[in-house]
Amino acid sequence: MFEGFTLEHIKLPEATLRVRHSGSGPPILLLHGHPHTHATWHKVAPLLAQTHTVVCPDLRGFGQSSKPPDTPDHAGSSKRAKARDNVALMRHLGFERFAVVGHDRGAYTAFRTALDVPQAVTHLAVLDAVPIAEALARCDARFAQRWWHWFFFAQPDKPERAILADPDAWYGNPMEKLEQMGEDAYADYRAAIHDPATVHGMLEDYRAGLGLDRQHDEADRAAGRKVECPTLVLWSLKDDLQDLYGDVLAVWEPWTTNLRGHALDSGHHMAEEVPEELAAALLDFLSGA
């Protein structure tokens, strides 16, 4: 897994991140979702590294990266805090400007990075997500039925107890996940979901989502702020986004200045299910073709 990539634990001003990186050329930062680690990119990253410098961290709170201290407002787990990590990490590696790709919860951090530090982000790619403020503003019975976990995970204590009682069962069929992810990536994921500190860190991401992250989105919307760089939105035909929102690009249009996107014939974990198609879509976007 990640043959030829360097594995490091990099100490930054606010966090220590486990990171794999390799390649040369324009830099791309890949951000994973819940409950995964950077290992979710192990099929995509080598394809991108043929022409780009690829950087894959565990987000703070996830995987083997450090866990922020608990505070009543969950600020250490906010997407704004994680965006600061992104910029600090890439500067540590020698890059002032970079493309950022985010899937699932990582998409919210990628989006926040592009909004908060526009001078640092050359391209934004969002996979299977709409802005948190949009999702909550549009919340209806269908959303509550399908994405009920957003609200359960935001509750104190009980989600940790429920997940840690049987992490393998909570997150789906272990054999199906092993087959989809591959042995090494599955082992990395499984270590994360069995670690109480990591489970808590991942849930804090949701607690920040319903509070500070929503407030940050709404403040930006009120101020008319938009993503200034080219933006690509990809969504899975076999997941919920199109069913919930219909025209996914129409949800993103008010937040962007240069938008494109399309669906992929995949389930939610597109980096593991259709890595070649995803890599091709990203390279096409980054090339400006």
Tokens of 268: 């939610």
Does 35 sit behind a cis peptide bond, omega within 30 degrees of 0 on the bond before it? yes
Tell me if residue 184 is catalytic. no
- For residues 165 and 234, give the distance between their C-alpha atoms in angstroms, rounded to a whole number: 34
Tell me if residue 262 is catalytic. no
Name the percent of the chain in helix, strand, coil, to the closest 5: 50, 20, 30
Catalytic residue, from 92, 195, 240, 268: name it.
268
Catalytic residue, from 85, 104, 116, 213: name it.
104
The amino acid that residue 147 corresponds to is W
Q: Cα dihedral sign for 7, 81, 203, 69?
A: positive
Q: Are 51 and 25 in contact (CB under 8 A)?
A: yes
Length of the chain in terms of residues written: 289
Residue 81's closest CA among 201, 232, 228, 168? 201
What positions carry a catalytic annotation? Answer: 104, 268
